[in-house]
Amino acid sequence: MVSVTRTVFGELPSGGGTVEKFQLQSDLLKVDIISWGCTITALEVKDRQGKASDVVLGFAELEGYLQKQPYFGAVVGRVANRIAKGTFTLDGKEYHLAVNNGPNSLHGGLKGFDKVLWTPQVLSNGVQFSRISPAGEEGYPGELKVWVTYTLDGGELVINFRAQASQTTPVSLTNHAYFNLAGQGSPNIYDHEVTIEADAYLPLNETMLPTGDVAPVQGTAFDLRKPVQLGKHLREFRLGGFDHNFCLKNSKEKHFCARVYHAGSGRVLEVYTTQPGVQFYTGNFLNGTLKGKSGAIYPKHSGFCLETQNWPDAINQPHFPPVLLSPGEKYNHTTWFKFSVA
């Protein structure tokens, strides 16, 4: 059984509307999601002793989400990740997007899907959010209708993304939750064991953009096919952290993507998806300046993201999986976050 409760989370300034919170609860999980950015604000998971802790970074109040912050828990789009120089050409026309990350466009631009109020609809086991992204929003062509559905099933949080376009446009949606399986507010994620089911990854240039190469992970720091303890692995390879796309099985069927285990609590997170890529990000740009829930501060490497998505800059890389959605087609992908204890 899943219960769904609906409350007011806060009011947007200047009469911008009411932000609501939806709490989904099963016997194993409790998750809070707000209608601002379809944002996961809390996710309580039990440890091996049966004690529940909140394992996602974020804020207790709406004000936290309205300040400049790194997409905590939000849905990002129209296109997750980076697009080179914020430009692409489609049917002979050049489109210019907002540039908001060095020379590139990141996560939909200056006012992406994370910074808008969505329309909610309560379901028996979750909540569905919808919105219409108008033609030309952040420079993207055509109108886009979008639906994001969160449902709970025991220890599994399922996120489904759907979209329909009035004109051909690139679309790649994801959720940007930051996890720490020791509990949010724990100082780092170095004691987490990580596995990612990927034989290849995308090397980056100095602006964090894929070079266009698809490189095998074999014999590199990016070989996470067997579990590695994160802190030890970063030290061993002298890495400042991960912020890379791992190339998954290119299949529209549900496939295993990643597993993270925290020995101290026994918590395990397994991720399954229908997407061809996952961005593994270790919170490299967190710097302790943001104050989160229960007064927690979030220093570098205090959370990790597993953003299931299309490959970054696919619109400018013809050999990457296709990212265009045309009228009459349906964009539809699902990601499963499965929690258990070991």
- Residues annotated within a binding site for beta-D-galactose: 81-82, 176-178, 243
Q: What's the pLDDT at 173? A: 98
Residue 150 has pLDDT above 90, yes or no: yes
Q: What is the pLDDT of residue 313?
A: 98
Q: What is the pLDDT of residue 147?
A: 99
**Residues tagged in the binding site annotation:** 81-82, 176-178, 243
Predicted confidence at residue 268, as pLDDT, reads 98
Q: Judge contact between 85 and 99, C-beta under 8 A.
A: yes
Q: What is the mean pLDDT of residues 37-61?
A: 98
Going by pLDDT thresholds of 50, 70 and 90, the confidence category of residue 245 is: very high
The C-alpha atoms of residue 3 and residue 46 are separated, in whole angstroms, by: 18
Distance between CA atoms of residues 266 and 243, nearest Å: 26
What's the pLDDT tens digit per position in 284-338?
Answer: 999 999 999 999 999 999 999 999 999 999 999 999 999 999 999 999 999 999 9
What is the pLDDT, as a whole number, of residue 136? 97
Rounded to whole angstroms, how far apart are CA atoms 106 and 253?
Answer: 27
Phi, psi of 14 (to 5 degrees): 55, 40
Cα–Cα distances in Å, from 53 out to 47, 107, 173, 266? 8, 29, 28, 12
| Residues annotated catalytic, as ranges | 176, 307
Is 295 strand, coil or helix? helix
Residue-wise pLDDT tens digits, 75-127: 999 999 999 999 999 999 999 999 999 999 999 999 999 999 999 999 999 99
How confident is the prediction for the chain on average, in pLDDT? 97
pLDDT digits (tens, 9 = 90+) for 248-293: 988 889 999 999 999 999 999 999 999 999 999 999 999 999 999 9
240 pLDDT higher than 90: yes
Both structure tokens of 94: 């050049």
Helix (H, G, I), strand (E, B) or coil at 70: coil
In 3D space, the residue among 233, 230, 231 whose CA is nearest the CA of residue 221 turns out to be 233
pLDDT (tens digit per residue) in 160-200 = 999 999 999 999 999 999 999 999 999 999 999 999 999 99
Q: Give the pLDDT confidence score for residue 250 in this predicted structure.
A: 82
Q: Which domains does the chain have, with CATH numbers?
A: 3-341 (2.70.98.10)
Model pLDDT, residue 251: 84
